Structure formats: C-alpha cells, structure tokens
Amino acid sequence: MDLTDLHSLLTIAREKSISKASKVIHISQPALTIRIKKLEQELGFVLLERTRSGVKLTKQGASIIHNATKAIQQIKAMSKLQDHSNLIDLIKLLHPEQDDFSDSFNDNSSNIKIGVATPLGWTMFKPIMNHLRSFDPDLKYHMLSDSNEVIIELILLGDIDFGFVPYFEELPGIESISIMQDEMLLLGPKNEKPLCLHNPESMNTLLEKTFYLFFSNQQLRSLINETMLKLMGNIPKDICNINETGIILKMISDGQGYTICPSSFLYDTMEFFHSLYGTGELPTLLQHETVPFSVYRLGENYPSRTIRMIFPSDSPYSQFIQQLSNII
C-alpha cells in the first residue's frame, strides 16, 4: 500500500466512477482497477461496490477513508517544510544582525520533547504541565499530541524524550512506569432519575437511551463495548459516533444522552470529587451543582486501562523521568 493507492481510492470515492477517476489521476482504467484490487487484497476486505448511481464505498471501505485522507494531508504538510526554510532565509537576509532567532522556528532545539496520546491531551495537558512546573519551574519543553501508536513509534525513533499513553505492551528499548489506573465511568444527564446499576429494569431502560461514543475503529471503543455488555447485557441500539472528547461531554452536559468513558477524560472533575470526599472511597454516584452531568463509578470489576509514562531505555533523562513519575 502506498500513497498513490490511497489517492486512487479517494478519487474514485469522490468521482463515484472508476472511469472518471482514471482520467483525473491519469491512470488507465484497467491499471486503476488492478491497483484497487491489490489494495483490497492487502487490507483483506472489499472497498468498492457498484450501484445504479455509480461506484460507492462499502461499509468497510468507508471506515478507512478518514485515515486515508489524513495520511495524504500529512504528506502535503511535509512538503511545506521547504516554505518554512525559505522564510528563515528571508528573515536572515532582512536582519543580518540577528543570529539567534532561528531556534524559535526549529522544533529540534534543546527543549525536552513530551508526547501525549490523544485524546489524553485534551484533559491531561494541564495537570501534566502543572506537575512539570512544580518539579522544575525553569523547564523548557515542546509537547506533541498524536495517536497512541505514533507516540510509541516516536519514542523508538528518539524523536520525543518521554510520553504518556493509555495502551502499551512491553517493547525492547522502551521503559514504562504506571502512573494511573483509568477506571470506566458512566455519564448521564443530571435532570434524569438516578440509575440503579444493579437493577435489571433500570439497565433495560438505559439500553433505550441515546449513547454518544467514540467510533468503533478506535481502540477505546472495544473497552467501552466490553463495559456496556457487562453493565447492560447488550449494546444500545441508538448510538451516535463522535471522534472528539469535548463534543461527547458537551452532549452529555446538555442532557442529550449518556456515554461511557475513562476517568482520565474527567481528570479535573474527578480531582474535584476527591477533594470533596477526602481520602475515603468515592461513592458510586457523584453529583455536584458545578458538574453538568451525573457520574457513575462502575468499579474495579469492570474493564479499565493503565496510563503509562514511557521513555527510551537509554534516555539521558531517565533519572529526571523517574523522579517526575513519583509526583504525578
């Protein structure tokens, strides 16, 4: 599979015709058909189907379009690095007296580089930064938020110094430190009657509600599905798939439905409840006038995940990272 394959698939999907797509990308129709067949063989499923209105993506084909589009756009973004270099040269020409400004354009400066897997960055950026500042107020850093897999790969490549990921299996060359057990939570509207999680009738009622969840092709969704099956005995029929944490929480805050998510998505909210209840165990149902939804803790018998701090085994920052992990 290469970018030409992905570009070919996107063009066919856009044109709804293999013959029209072949003209757009200047590839013969037979060659384009062979390219798509080869891509289907690599992926293990059919990408396109013929209908009266033309060619369209199958359900499985549609599931990869988002990632295919992102891959092509990222390659295009890489081509703009040359424009970045030209800008630096122009500033040097206009201001020859300045010889130290280019570091502000350079991502490869001496600042420590931190990676946070999405969507952890949405909720954990602030607490991570607070811990870093308390540990070393003068610390200079860059931060990157990307997928779990990309953060791990960048650690292996030495492009970032340490990262925070919710999914990790031991790999040669990478050390990991567990920093948080990420329990699963059920969130629902405040204005509805509180649920009894151990009451079958209450769970049957919950099955009829609208759930706002991450797309099924995302790693977290498998954990959410396991949780729903254990809690309700089935998967709700009315599911709205969303790929953004903030939008999901907004829908629940507005009383539109329910969601199941890990506690890291509500880091500040859970810290607030811990401050209210002190060192004791939090109750199953958490409510407060300042929190726009009801939070149900499902407990240790439900699926969970472990957020880990990962770093290269030969990292020059190993001692710093070990000390930092003790305060996070």
Quick one: fold of 128-180+306-325?
A: D-Maltodextrin-Binding Protein; domain 2 (3.40.190)
Mean pLDDT of 150-161: 90
Establish whether domains 3-79 and 128-180+306-325 are of one fold: no
Q: How confident is the model at residue 101 (pLDDT cuts 50, 70, 90)?
A: very low
Task: Give 6-15 pLDDT, tens digit per residue.
Answer: 889 989 988 9
Task: Give 50-98 pLDDT, tens digit per residue.
Answer: 888 889 999 888 888 878 887 877 777 666 655 555 555 655 555 555 5
pTM (2 d.p.): 0.74
Instruction: Find out if CATH 1.10.10.10 is the number for domain 3-79.
Output: yes
Mean pLDDT of 251-256: 97
CB-neighbour burial class of residue 232 (10 A; exposed 0-12, middle 13-18, buried 19+): buried
User: For position 88, what pLDDT does the model report?
Assistant: 53
Task: Give 172-213 pLDDT, tens digit per residue.
Answer: 999 999 988 999 999 999 999 999 999 999 999 999 999 999
Distances, alpha carbon 316 to alpha carbons 42, 93, 298, in Å:
40, 37, 40
Higher per-residue pLDDT: 100 or 240: 240
Q: How confident is the model at residue 140 (pLDDT cuts 50, 70, 90)?
A: confident
CB-neighbour burial class of residue 154 (10 A; exposed 0-12, middle 13-18, buried 19+): middle
- Decide: 13 and 78 in contact? Cβ < 8 Å: no
- Tokens 């390659």 found at: 75
Domain locations along the chain = 3-79, 128-180+306-325, 183-303
Instruction: Report whether the peptide linkage leading into residue 119 is cis, meaning its omega lies within 30 degrees of zero.
Output: yes
Cα Rg for the chain, rounded, in angstroms? 24
Q: How confident is the model at residue 260 (pLDDT cuts 50, 70, 90)?
A: very high
CATH class of segment(s) 183-303: alpha beta
Give the alpha-carbon dihedral of 283, 286, 287, 288, to 10 degrees. Answer: 80
Check whether 286 has a pLDDT greater than 90: yes
Higher per-residue pLDDT: 326 or 122: 326
